[in-house]
Amino acid sequence: MNQIEVFCPGSVANVSCGFDVLGFCLEPVGDVMKVTKTETPGVSIGTILGQDLPTDPLKNVASVAVTALLEAHPSKYGFRIDIDKRIKPGSGIGSSAASAAGAVFAVNELLGKPYSRNELIQFAMAGEALASGAAHADNLAPVLLGGFTLVRSNKSLDVIKLPSPPELVATIIHPKIELKTIHSRAILKNTIPLEKAVQQWGNLGAFVSALYTNDYELLSRSMKDKVIEPYRAMLIPRFEEVKKAAIDAGALGSGISGSGPSIYALSKSIKIANQVGDAMKNQFDDLDLEYEVHISKINNEGIKILH
Ligand code: HSE
């Protein structure tokens, strides 16, 4: 095989109660990436459609991730990466993770699959580190493994795939302002009061339990964030109003998607997820702000080979 085309889906990280450790994979929104084997060793970026991103291999998250893979598994071939970048950088739905995970997945296929999907996360993290200033895998893990994932440790990279309750549907509203993860991480405090930590790990444990038992009520009670959201909410226009509108329209819960500005909600059916999307849109309608809405089932497969 000399060429491969893959679909690299978007993802929602944090899911309110699991900052830097919890995430799930989206279905309809994602990039398309083509990787071609070349005779000259090294990694190059070919064309990038849709967004203005660096083509310097040292500055592009896709090539940086592939370079990390090739350092561990040298090849006499090179690889050219062409990207149809449909997820806007700085949107909060895992744009850099889609690029980094897609690139290492595609190159791994062309190398004859020396690594499992789980093992590829460590290489893709080099791309995330470049994009956000911190190597975290909460977007990468669901993109590579599909479904919901929990990163027990970002350091020793211990990642668990979790079950997805069958009726869950996500609504994402993406206000078109760019919020770089590196900036929305910079405003966070390095310490948290014990009382808040206790609430947060109670909620995260309960959320994981709810995924295993399809307990939608428990899931709903657990989608809380008293640690990160209070700081980041001010960066997103009308965040509190949008979140309240989503919950009033029937969502199980709602919060910031990743580091924002997108806002996500989880609901128990496509019908409710659509109503939630309408309610969220209403909050932006009188603002001079472009936005888009995605309705998505949980994508249990993750990255997919197109050709
Ligand atoms: N966990 C990350 C954050 C996700 O919230 O900063 C964004 O990459």
pLDDT value, residue 147: 98
pLDDT exceeds 90 at position 215: yes
Pocket of ligand 1 (CB under 6 A): 13-14, 19-20, 132, 136, 138-139, 181, 185, 258-259
pLDDT value, residue 155: 86
Return phi, psi of residue 155, to 5°: -85, -55
pLDDT value, residue 134: 80
Domain 168-297, CATH number (from 3.40.50.2300, 3.30.70.890, 3.40.50.10170, 3.40.50.300): 3.30.70.890
Residue length of the chain: 307
Percent of the chain with pLDDT over 70: 100
Catalytic residues: 128, 181
Q: Which residue's CA lies nearest to atom 6 of ligand 1?
A: 259
CA distance 128 to 145: 17
Q: How far is the CA of 256 from the centre of ligand 1 (A)?
A: 10
Q: How far is the CA of 50 from the centre of ligand 1 (A)?
A: 23
Contacts of 298 (CB under 8 A, 6+ apart): 24, 25, 27, 147, 148, 164, 168, 169, 170
Which atom of ligand 1 lies closest to the CA of 228?
A: 5
pTM above 0.75, yes or no: yes
Q: Mean pLDDT throughout 114-137?
A: 92
Q: How far is the CA of 76 from the centre of ligand 1 (A)?
A: 35
Peptide bond into 261 cis (omega under 30): yes
Which atom of ligand 1 lies closest to the CA of 19?
A: 1
pLDDT value, residue 91: 94
pLDDT tier at 172, thresholds 50, 70, 90: very high
Q: Please state, rounded to an integer, the average pLDDT across all residues of the chain.
A: 96
**Residue among 128, 143, 179, 181 to mutate when testing ligand 1 (max atoms within 8 A of CB):** 181
CB atoms within 10 A of CB 74: 8
pLDDT value, residue 156: 86
Which atom of ligand 1 lies closest to the CA of 92?
A: 7
**Residue among 136, 150, 235 to mutate when testing ligand 1 (max atoms within 8 A of CB):** 136
CATH 3.30.70.360 for domain 3-162+300-305, yes or no, is no
Q: How far is the CA of 37 from the centre of ligand 1 (A)?
A: 32
Kindly list the distances between the CA atom of residue 283 and the CA atoms of 44, 97, 119, 273, 296, in Å, as whole numbers in the listed order.
43, 29, 42, 16, 20
Give per-residue pLDDT as tens, 241-292. 999 999 999 999 999 999 999 999 999 999 999 999 999 999 999 898 999 9
**Per-domain residue ranges of the chain:** 3-162+300-305, 168-297
pLDDT value, residue 7: 98
pLDDT tier at 295, thresholds 50, 70, 90: very high
Kindly list the distances between the CA atom of residue 236 and the CA atoms of 80, 190, 233, 263, in Å, as whole numbers in the listed order.
37, 21, 6, 9
pLDDT exceeds 90 at position 133: no
Identical fold, 3-162+300-305 and 168-297: no
Q: How far is the CA of 149 from the centre of ligand 1 (A)?
A: 14
pLDDT value, residue 132: 81
Q: Which residue's CA lies nearest to atom 4 of ligand 1?
A: 258
Q: Which residue's CA lies nearest to atom 5 of ligand 1?
A: 259
Which atom of ligand 1 lies closest to the CA of 97?
A: 8
Contacts of 44 (CB under 8 A, 6+ apart): 38, 57, 63, 78, 79, 80, 81
pLDDT tier at 32, thresholds 50, 70, 90: very high
CA distance 176 to 245: 19
pLDDT tier at 154, thresholds 50, 70, 90: confident
Query: Alpha helices of the chain — where are they, by DSSP H?
Result: 61-72, 95-110, 117-132, 140-145, 181-186, 194-213, 216-222, 229-232, 239-248, 270-284
pLDDT exceeds 90 at position 227: yes
